[in-house]
Structure 1
Amino acid sequence: MTPKLDMIGLVVEDMAASLTFYRRLGLDIPAGSENEPHVEATLPNGLRFGWDTVATVRSFMPEWTKPQGGNAVGMAFLCDSPAEVDKVHADLIAAGYRSHKDPWDAFWGQRYACVLDPDDNTVDLFAPLTP
């Protein structure tokens, strides 16, 4: 059997804050998960997205430390249009999240923006400039 990618996981400082952020991006996360040490959501394509608290990870890997000097993971969310990239970015900033890079028309043909989740992971928003 060939291994297949089944889950992308994040280590989070504050489970509730992280789940709130990703719910704003449309992930269907089980209600009442905010106080759990491990949470999973299955995406429409069957891929699972998971969150573990720092304490959970340190329970089996006590030497774990948060990566320094850059991102540990990169994620990109496809939006329906360039206008939606701008709207989602603006909505997240208005909700108190930080912009890493304001929306711009990238030379590779996409409207692109980058925001930071509560654990400083860069989350990209993008859409093709032309349909």
Structure 2
Amino acid sequence: MAASIRFYGLLGLDFPDTAEGHIETTLPNGIHIMLDAEEVVRSFRPDWQRVTGNQLALAFECDSPAAVDELYAQVVAAGFAVEKPPWDAVWGQRYVQLRDPNGVPVDLYARL
């Protein structure tokens, strides 16, 4: 949980600095995000099994192409996984593909 708090904190999500097994934050647009540790999920679903493969992916829009590069540098410096370094995509965005501490694909992008 602590690694997820650090990773998503770099991306601007303001989770409480605790590793109690359940954390929540609300984004400025009202979207509410909650993360649960496996032991919390197993407390109400004892038969829960970790899924294989990617069941979801997240993408975060950045203010500028330079902001994509800056966040990429921070993620690398913090030791988190990079799927593909920044590039200028043919669809007109500066793009980078990362992995969060649980292996979830996370993209950062900004219009060129």
Q: TM-score range by the shorter chain?
A: over 0.9
Paired residue total: 112
**Identity, % of aligned positions:** 52
2:28 is the alignment partner of 1:44: yes
Deviation at 1:19, TM superposition (A): 0.7
1:80 and 1:98 mapped to 2: Cα distance? 22
1:84 and 1:125 mapped to 2: Cα distance? 9
Deviation at 1:66, TM superposition (A): 1.8
Residue 20 of structure 1 aligns to a residue whose secondary structure is: helix
1:63-90 deviation line (CA, Å, top 9, x unaligned): 222221x322211111111111111111
Query: Which amino acid in the other structure matches residue 33 of structure 2?
Result: F
1:30 and 1:19 mapped to 2: Cα distance? 8
Gaps spanning 5+ residues in structure 1: where?
A: 1-14
Deviation at 1:60, TM superposition (A): 1.7
Q: Which residue of 2 aligns with 1:53?
A: 37
1:26-85 deviation line (CA, Å, top 9, x unaligned): 111123x22x121100111111111101011112222222221x3222111111111111
Q: Which residue of 1 aligns with 2:85?
A: 102
Q: Which residue of 1 aligns with 2:69?
A: 86
Residue 23 of structure 2 aligns to a residue whose secondary structure is: strand
Query: Which amino acid in the other structure matches residue 21 of structure 1?
Result: F
CA RMSD in angstroms comes to: 1.2
Residue 49 of structure 2 aligns to a residue whose secondary structure is: coil
Q: Which residue of 2 aligns with 1:16?
A: 2
Q: Which residue of 2 aligns with 1:9?
A: none
1:26 and 1:71 mapped to 2: Cα distance? 23
